[in-house]
Structure 1
Amino acid sequence: MRDLPTRSVVTDELEVACHEAGPADGQPVLLLHGFPYDIHSYIEVSDSLAASGYRVVVPYLRGHGLTRFRRPDTVRSGQQAALGADVIALLDALAIPRAILAGFDWGGRAACVAAALHPERVTGLVSVNSYLIQDISVATRPLPPELEAGFWYFFYFLTERGRAGLTANRRAVAEVIWRHNSPNWDFTSADLDRAAKAFDNSDYVDVVIHSYRHRLGHAAGAPAYAAAEAALALAPAITVPAVTLDGTADGNFPATDGTPSAAHFVGPRAHHRVRDAGHNLPQEAPEEFADAVREVFEAARATR
């Protein structure tokens, strides 16, 4: 088992720790991880895409790994608009005009936000569980109980007991979520230990707690993202070429044929069900995820 090396890339708000692979002149692709995961969800995807000639960038999200806020007075926001803004800021810092964005969970949401609000910067989108932009206006609307049960930590994190629990038990909370999210994934203690290093970030708890409180309407957003959140509240369409994926063994999101989210994709879009894959799809089914990146690149070339 190996650890991915990283370097620091400076944006206005963050020092972003990124793994990079592949040729510098290759088609850029950002691979965006979720919570509670880290960049090693993409270790095999990164290897595969780099071998195919892509310029691969795998950043730690805000609050994770060696990514750090540059100023102590910056709000430690975990809201969706902040995650999307971080993607665009990273592209700017790397002098990348346009890139394929590919992600799952928080990373998929960041990719969807950036694609919806800044399509001119996005060559194509790969998103696990399709359209992940949150409609906060319906935050109080209940889901079916079997789905609510899988989101226990959303409600746990609304409480100060939940904040204390996440602070004290970062690895253990992640393990419970991993087992529910991916019941068919036979991960090892070493896999979890490697990812858990990313949770030692001093801003991890603040960012995570704010993310879940904001999406459920229990915390205000940071003023800097008010305009972006207003735009996201309109459920903006994804206009860039997209490939969406559902794992048939995802413990949180039952796999669909793509039709429930079809109206949100007005550009070319393909949807695939990945057999036996859970929520951490790029680590559980790396070749299928890498193939989705290749597929969306070909779709983008066909539309030019």
Structure 2
Amino acid sequence: MVTAGALDVAVELHGPEGGQAVVLLHGFPDDVRAWDGVARPLAEHGFRVVVPYLRGYGPTRYRDAATPRSGQQAALGVDLLALMDALGIGRALLAGYDWGGRAACIVAALWPDRVHGLVSANGYNIQDIAGSARPAPPEQEARYWYQWYLHTDRGVAALEQDRRAFCRLLWRMWSPSWHFTEAEFAATAAAWDNPDFVATVVQSYRHRHRAAPGDPALQGIEDRLAARPPITVPAVVLHGAEDGVDPPANTEGCARWFTGPFRRDVVPGAGHFLPREGPQPWIAYLRSLAAR
């Protein structure tokens, strides 16, 4: 457990303390087990690997009952920066997908001096909240059904009453070719029993569509993100070819947000839960970025 900013963060650590730091960040609905196929091989190559549970997941806890249970993008970025400070990490490689990819992109964009390189699934993950009222094509709106559902009391009740059924459906829909085991699902599902999971998730999906207020303490960060800052550090974007919620076509033009050395790679046979389904590209690209 690491006290970092607003949180007591549960962190799994691998590899030598003096190795080059790599922070691996999970998404929704997932947990640190997403990185099991990546963390250990990196540690064997001498990296100091840090794998935290995000706010609202697993043993991670808010330190103050008065802190808003916010999953907004600024909170995720600030959490990552605070964790790096608490662990004495001046500069790190960052890798993440979904919520974790958003945190990694935010730190890379706003504090580039702290980032040696970035591997982000699904592109430039900083949200355009000001533009969120613009509708997407109907096919994409349908993929976001869960976000609209969580705007209703009925959807919140569904997530609260049976988190496992709700999230199991997302696993199946978002990674249609991934045949996970019951043991694999159960090992991660325990992380959703966090008492703040539902509140944090609901606020995240409402805030990004301007349907819930953010944490006032984070407004300055949100204002900076509203400018859609470019990512200047060396970066790789990975995308699962069979991603059921964010298909590869959604990131075909993402290179315009990356002004440093950049590469985009579509991983065949993989869906949304890319570190689980295709760990090798993460390992290869992180090692390549470390050598720059």
Q: TM-score, normalised by structure 2?
A: 0.98
Runs of 4+ with >6 A deviation: none
Contact 1:150-1:180 at 8 Å conserved across structures: no
Aligned to 2:126: 133
1:295 shift after superposition: 2.1
Native 8 Å contact 2:5 2:79 kept in 1: no
Determine whether 1:59 maps to 2:58.
no
Q: Which residue of 2 aligns with 1:5?
A: none
- What is the aligned partner in structure 2 of residue 227 from structure 1? 220
Q: Distance in 2 between matches of 1:12 and 1:133?
A: 21
Asked if the contact 1:242/1:269 (under 8 Å) is kept, the reply is yes
Cα distance, 1:120 vs structure 2 = 1.1
Q: Is residue 247–residue 273 contact of structure 1 (8 Å, CA) maintained in 2?
A: yes
CA distance in structure 2 between the partners assigned to 1:47 and 1:19 by the alignment: 11
Partner AA of 2:119 in structure 1: V
- Note the 1:154-303 alignment, pairs <5 A: 154-256=147-249, 259-298=252-291, 301=292
* Paired residue type of 1:225: L
- Counterpart secondary structure, 2:10: strand
* SS of equivalent to 2:85: helix
State the 1:257 CA deviation: 9.7
Amino acid at match of 1:47: R
1:259 to partner: Cα distance: 4.4
Deviation per residue, 1:43-95 (Å, 9 max, x gap): 11001111111100000000000000111101111000000000000000000
Partner of 1:112: 105
1:31 correspondence with 2:11: no
CA–CA separation in structure 1 for the residues paired with 2:94 and 2:141: 29
The 8 Å contact of residues 30 and 56 in structure 1, kept in 2 or not, is answered as yes
Which one-letter code corresponds to 1:140 in the other structure?
Answer: A
1:268 CA displacement? 0.7
Q: How does 1:74-153 map to 2 (within 5 A)?
A: 74-153=67-146
Q: Distance in 2 between matches of 1:297 and 1:215?
A: 33
Q: Which residue of 2 aligns with 1:3?
A: none
The whole-number CA distance in structure 2 between the counterparts of 1:31 and 1:210 is 23
* 1:212 aligned partner, one-letter code: Y
What is the RMSD computed on CA atoms of the aligned residues? 1.1
Identity %: 51
Classify 1:258/1:294 alpha carbon distance in 2 versus 1 (closer, same or farther; 3 Å): farther
Residue 15 of structure 2 corresponds to 22
- Please state how far the C-alpha of 1:145 moved relative to its aligned partner: 1.6
Which amino acid is 1:213 matched to? R
In structure 2, relative to structure 1, the CA distance for the partners of 1:258 and 1:214 (3 Å cut) is closer
Structure 2 CA distance for partners of 1:70 and 1:108, relative to 1, 3 Å: same
Displacement of 1:12: 2.6
Q: How many residues align?
A: 292
Unaligned 5+ residue runs, structure 1? Answer: 1-7
Give the letter aligned to residue 98 of structure 2.
D
Deviation at 1:256, TM superposition (A): 4.3
Once the two structures are superposed, residues 25-50 of structure 1 have per-residue CA deviations (whole angstroms, 9 ceiling, x without a partner) of 11100000000001000011001111
Gapped regions of structure 2 (runs ≥ 5): none
**1:296 shift after superposition:** 2.1
**Deviation of residue 273 (structure 1)?**
1.0
Distance 1:257 1:68 in 2: 34
Contact 2:7 2:60 survives alignment (8 Å): yes
One-letter amino acid of the counterpart of residue 265, structure 1: F
Instruction: Report the TM-score when normalising by structure 1.
Output: 0.94
What SS does the corresponding residue of 1:277 show, helix, strand or coil? coil
